[in-house]
C-alpha cells in the first residue's frame, strides 16, 4: 500500500528538504544494470579471472590475515613495493584509495576552495563531474570534437579562460577509447594553472603512460587502478605525484580506507603480474579482432580504442536502446551510452571479453539487427 500523503510520509518529505543538499536530492543513484545469467560486457571487467592454482595460493595467504586488527598504520613498505612494480620513478610519492573513484573524490575535496572549478573533456568519466558537484565545485566539460577525439585548442582556451584548480584527463578516454596525443597533454600541462590528473585506468591496454614524466612536471598527477587489470573487486587505486602534493591528499584520506584483505591480496599478486599482463595482451588481440568483425556488420562505426572496450555507433535507422534490449534477450549485456551526451547519439560501449564471449556478442548483435529488419 502506498504511504504517500500519510503524516509520516509528509514529515519525511519535509525533513529531507530541510537536511539534504539540493545537489544530493537532485542526483540519481549510480545504477548498476542487473547481469544475472548474462554475458557481462558492460563494465570493462577483465573476463578471465585468476588461474585456479593462483586462487588457491591466494586463499591460503588470506587465511593468515588477522581480521580483528585495523590495517597497519605505516604502509610505506607496501606503497614502495606497489610503486616499484608499476614503474613509478624515484622521488615521486603515492597515496592509496578504495578504488581510484575514491581518489577522484579526495582530490576534488582537497581542492574545493570557494569558487574553484574542475575541468575535463566531455563526455568522459562520470565521476569527475559527480565529485565536482558533491564538493561544490563548478564543473566544466569541454566537448570532444565530432570525431570524438580531444579538442586540444578548445581545452587550452577554456583552461586559460576558467583557470581550473583541477583538470581530469582520462587517458585513454572512457567512454570513447581515444588516447590523446602526447603533444596535446604537453599543451594542457603548460596551460593549466592548477593540477592536471592523467587518469590511466586503462594503462594495461594502452601501454602508454605519463608516470615516468612525473619528475619533469610539478603540476602532473597520475591516477592508476588495478580494476581494469583484473582486480576490480579488490578496490585499489593509487595516485602518484610530487610528495608535497600527495601529502595534501593524504590528509583528506580516511584512515584505513584500504582494508587488510585487499592489502594482503595485492601484496601477494604483485609477484604474479605476468599473469595479468598476459591477459591484457590477449584482450588487446581480441579488441582488434572484435573491431574488425563489428566493422564488417554494415553501417556500424567502430571508434579506434586503446582501452579494453570499443565504442560503436549504430546506423541512424537503429535505436541504441532497442539494440541493447535485443542483445540482452539474446544473453549479452553491453552499455548504452547514447543518453550521456549528444555526441554519443546511438552509441554503445562494448567491453572486450574472452574469444567465446566476443563470438557470442557478434552473433547476438547480428541477430538483433537482422530481426529488427524483418519487423
Ligand atoms: C573504471 C574507471 C575508473 C575507476 O576505477 P576504480 O579504481 O575501479 O574506482 C577510473 N577512471 C576511469 C576513466 C575509469 O574508466
**Best substitution site from 46, 98, 174 to test ligand 1's pocket, by max atoms within 8 Å of Cβ?**
174
Q: What is the pLDDT of residue 371?
A: 75
Is 123 touching ligand 1 by the criterion CB < 6 Å? no
Neighbours of 359 (CB within 10 A): 14
Q: What is the pLDDT of residue 372?
A: 62
User: Would you say 309 and 351 are in contact if contact means Cβ atoms under 8 Å apart?
Assistant: yes
Strands (E), 144-259: 166-170, 195-199, 220-225, 237-241
Q: What is the pLDDT of residue 48?
A: 96
Please give the grid coordinates belonging to residue 185: 597533454
Which atom of ligand 1 lies at the shortest distance from residue 102's CA?
9
Residue that the C-alpha cell 564488417 belongs to: 296
User: How far apart are alpha carbons 297 and 77 in whole angstroms?
Assistant: 51
User: How far apart are alpha carbons 335 and 43 in whole angstroms?
Assistant: 8
Torsions phi, psi for 121 (to 5 deg): -65, 155
User: Would you say 41 and 364 are in contact if contact means Cβ atoms under 8 Å apart?
Assistant: no
| Enclosing H/E stretch for 140 | strand 138-143
User: Would you say 301 and 322 are in contact if contact means Cβ atoms under 8 Å apart?
Assistant: no
- How far is the centre of ligand 1, averaged over its atoms, from the C-alpha of 271 (Å)? 23
User: How far apart are alpha carbons 357 and 363 in whole angstroms?
Assistant: 10
- How far is the centre of ligand 1, averaged over its atoms, from the C-alpha of 225 (Å)? 7
The residues, any chain, with a CB within 8 Å of residue 176's CB and separated by 6 or more, are 123, 144, 148, 149, 303, 305, 311
In this structure, is the dihedral angle defined by the CA atoms of residues 173, 176, 178 and 183, taken in order, positive or negative? negative
Global pTM value:
0.95
User: How far apart are alpha carbons 344 and 146 in whole angstroms?
Assistant: 10
Q: What is the pLDDT of residue 335?
A: 97
Is 170 touching ligand 1 by the criterion CB < 6 Å? yes
- How far is the centre of ligand 1, averaged over its atoms, from the C-alpha of 314 (Å)? 26
User: Would you say 29 and 23 are in contact if contact means Cβ atoms under 8 Å apart?
Assistant: no
Please give the grid coordinates belonging to residue 342: 549528444
Helix (H, G, I), strand (E, B) or coil at 328: helix
User: Would you say 344 and 337 are in contact if contact means Cβ atoms under 8 Å apart?
Assistant: yes
Mean pLDDT by 10 residues, the chain (375 residues): 78 95 88 90 96 97 96 96 97 98 98 97 97 96 98 98 98 98 98 98 96 98 97 98 97 96 98 97 98 93 98 94 95 96 97 97 93 58
Which residue owns the Cα nearest ligand 1 atom 12? 201
Is 172 touching ligand 1 by the criterion CB < 6 Å? no
Helix (H, G, I), strand (E, B) or coil at 35: coil
Q: What is the pLDDT of residue 3?
A: 59
Q: How far is CA 261 from CA 71, 257, 284, 341, in A?
A: 9, 12, 30, 38
Give the DSSP per-residue string, 261-316.
HHHHHHHHHGGGHHHHHHHHHHHHHHHHHHHHHHHTTSS-EE---SSSEEEEE--T
User: Would you say 205 and 171 are in contact if contact means Cβ atoms under 8 Å apart?
Assistant: no
What residues does 143 pair with on adjacent strands? Answer: 122
Q: What is the pLDDT of residue 5?
A: 83
**Best substitution site from 82, 86, 100 to test ligand 1's pocket, by max atoms within 8 Å of Cβ?**
100
Q: What is the pLDDT of residue 375?
A: 45
Please give the grid coordinates belonging to residue 332: 549479452
Amino acid at each position: 500500500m502506498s504511504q504517500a500523503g500519510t503524516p509520516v510520509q509528509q514529515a519525511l518529505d519535509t525533513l529531507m528538504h530541510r537536511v539534504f543538499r539540493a545537489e544530493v536530492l537532485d542526483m540519481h543513484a549510480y545504477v548498476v544494470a542487473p547481469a544475472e545469467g548474462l554475458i557481462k560486457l558492460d563494465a570493462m571487467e577483465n573476463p578471465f579471472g585468476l588461474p585456479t592454482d593462483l586462487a588457491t595460493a591466494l586463499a591460503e595467504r588470506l587465511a593468515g590475515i588477522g581480521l580483528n586488527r585495523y590495517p597497519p598504520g605505516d604502509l610505506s613498505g607496501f606503497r614502495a613495493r606497489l610503486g616499484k612494480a608499476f614503474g613509478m620513478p624515484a622521488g615521486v610519492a603515492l597515496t592509496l584509495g578504495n578504488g581510484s573513484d575514491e581518489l577522484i573524490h579526495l582530490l576534488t575535496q582537497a581542492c574545493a576552495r570557494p569558487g574553484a572549478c574542475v575541468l575535463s573533456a566531455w563526455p568522459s568519466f562520470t565521476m569527475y563531474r559527480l565529485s565536482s558537484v558533491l564538493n561544490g565545485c563548478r564543473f566544466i566539460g569541454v566537448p570532444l570534437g565530432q570525431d570524438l577525439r580531444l579538442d586540444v585548442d578548445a581545452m587550452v582556451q577554456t583552461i586559460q579562460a576558467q583557470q581550473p584548480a583541477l583538470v581530469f584527463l582520462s587517458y585513454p578516454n572512457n567512454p570513447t577509447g581515444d588516447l590523446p596525443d602526447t603533444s596535446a597533454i604537453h599543451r594542457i600541462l603548460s596551460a593549466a594553472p592548477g593540477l592536471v590528473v592523467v587518469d590511466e585506468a586503462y594503462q594495461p591496454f594502452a601501454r602508454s603512460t605519463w608516470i615516468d614524466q612525473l619528475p619533469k612536471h610539478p603540476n602532473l598527477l597520475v591516477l592508476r587502478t588495478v580494476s581494469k587489470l583484473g582486480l576490480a573487486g579488490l578496490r585499489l587505486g593509487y595516485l602518484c605525484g610530487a610528495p608535497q602534493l600527495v601529502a595534501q591528499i593524504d590528509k583528506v584520506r580516511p584512515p584505513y580506507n584500504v582494508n587488510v584483505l585487499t592489502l594482503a591480496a595485492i601484496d601477494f599478486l604483485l609477484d604474479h603480474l605476468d599473469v595479468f599482463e598476459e591477459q591484457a595482451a590477449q584482450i588487446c588481440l581480441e579488441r582488434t579482432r572484435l573491431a574488425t568483425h563489428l566493422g564488417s556488420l554494415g553501417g556500424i562505426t567502430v571508434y579506434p580504442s586503446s582501452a579494453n572496450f570499443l565504442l560503436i555507433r549504430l546506423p541512424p535507422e537503429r535505436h541504441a536502446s532497442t539494440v541493447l534490449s535485443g542483445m540482452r534477450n539474446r544473453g549479452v549485456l553491453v552499455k548504452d551510452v547514447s543518453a550521456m551526451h549528444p555526441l554519443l547519439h546511438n552509441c554503445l560501449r562494448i567491453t572486450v571479453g574472452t574469444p567465446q564471449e566476443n563470438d557470442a556478442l557478434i552473433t547476438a548483435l547480428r541477430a538483433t539487427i537482422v530481426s529488427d529488419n524483418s519487423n
